[in-house]
Amino acid sequence: MITIGALSKRTGVNIETIRYYERIRLLPPPPRTGSGRRLYGAEDVRRLTFIRHARDLGFDISAIKTMLALQEVPEASCDEVSRIATDQLQAVESRIRRLLGLRTELTRMIKECDNGKVATCRIIEVLAEAPDAQDGQ
């Protein structure tokens, strides 16, 4: 059994985040010592590592809860987990498309800037325009 500090170090998850995950029932409440210190075991390390990795990949709390619940039924079909991962991939691809659009717009703004006076700065002009006006350019 390990303390919350050791769990934090082992998994790379902040102590306050671990407490939050307990409050929202992503992690089960741990047993406590007589003095009230939390104690965690190997299963808690595995579960928290899973949660951290899923969060790193952008999965939301709801999806993580669903996947954790599905792990409780190892003989069940993996279809739901696959659907959740597919939805996440589509969300990532959508963000990538938006970011590429942002990169294109920022590149265009920078290229149009002649680095003259702020009063005639093309970057400031573009940022001050209404989004509809920018679409027409």
Q: What is the pLDDT along the chain (137 residues), one digit of tens a residue?
A: 999 999 999 999 999 999 999 999 999 999 998 998 999 999 999 999 999 999 999 999 999 999 999 999 989 889 999 999 999 999 999 999 999 998 998 888 888 777 777 777 777 877 787 666 445 44
Q: Where are the domains of the chain?
A: 1-61
Q: Give the pLDDT score at 124.
A: 80
Q: Are 51 and 71 in contact (CB under 8 A)?
A: no
Encoding tokens for residue 52? Answer: 């951290």
Q: Give the pLDDT score at 79.
A: 94
**Which CATH number does 1-61 carry?**
1.10.1660.10
Q: Give the pLDDT score at 130.
A: 65
Long-range pairs of 40-49 with CB within 8 A, sequence gap ≥ 24:
40/1, 40/2, 40/3, 40/4, 40/6, 40/7, 41/1, 41/2, 44/7, 45/2, 45/7, 45/10, 45/11, 48/7, 48/11, 48/13, 48/18, 48/21, 49/11
- Residues paired with residue 2 on neighbouring β-strands, in sequence order: 40
In Å, the largest CA–CA distance within the chain is 69
- Residues paired with residue 32 on neighbouring β-strands, in sequence order: 38
Encoding tokens for residue 113? Answer: 């800037």
pTM > 0.85? no
